[in-house]
Each structure stands twice: as C-alpha cells, then as structure tokens.
Amino acid sequence: MSKKNIDDNVESRVCFEQLEEWVREQIQFYVQELLVLEDQVTQPLGRRKNERRREVDAPDGYRNS
C-alpha cells in the first residue's frame, strides 16, 4: 500500500483568501452604510449622539440612539 501526497492546501488557501477579501469588503460596506445612517439621523436632530440640545426652551435630555 502506498500513500499519495495530494497538495490540496494550496487550493484551499486560495479559496480562503478570496473568502476573506469578500468578507472584508462586506464589512467595509456595512460600516459605510452605518455612517450614512448616523449622518441622516444627526442632521434633522441638529446634534450628534449623546449631545444635549442647545435651545433654551427645549427639554433636557439626550438623543436616544
């Protein structure tokens, strides 16, 4: 009985690298989308997250998201 040495490591490494690249691109896309959403919420409220309102007659409080 003889053993065959098949070099599958190279092929799986290429597949893993492609998968890793795809995952990184997806995460980068989602982070950019979150930044856009944050801007869309910040503009109408007139303040950033956890920032108090500046108007004198406005009720005290923080933004809830």
What is the per-residue pLDDT across 19-64, written as a single tens digit (0 to 9) for each? 999 999 999 999 999 999 988 888 877 777 767 666 544 555 555 5
* Residue 2 falls inside a structural domain: no
Which H or E element spans position 17?
helix 9-45
* Residue 60 falls inside a structural domain: no
- How far is 49 from 29, CA to CA, in rounded Å? 22
Number of domains in the chain: 1
* Residue 42 falls inside a structural domain: yes
3-state secondary structure of 8: coil
Q: What is the pTM of this model?
A: 0.52
- How far is 7 from 18, CA to CA, in rounded Å? 19
- How far is 65 from 16, CA to CA, in rounded Å? 37
C-alpha closest to that of 65 among 56, 47, 57: 47
* Residue 58 falls inside a structural domain: no
What is the pLDDT, as a whole number, of residue 40? Answer: 87
* Residue 62 falls inside a structural domain: no
Domain that holds residue 20: 9-46
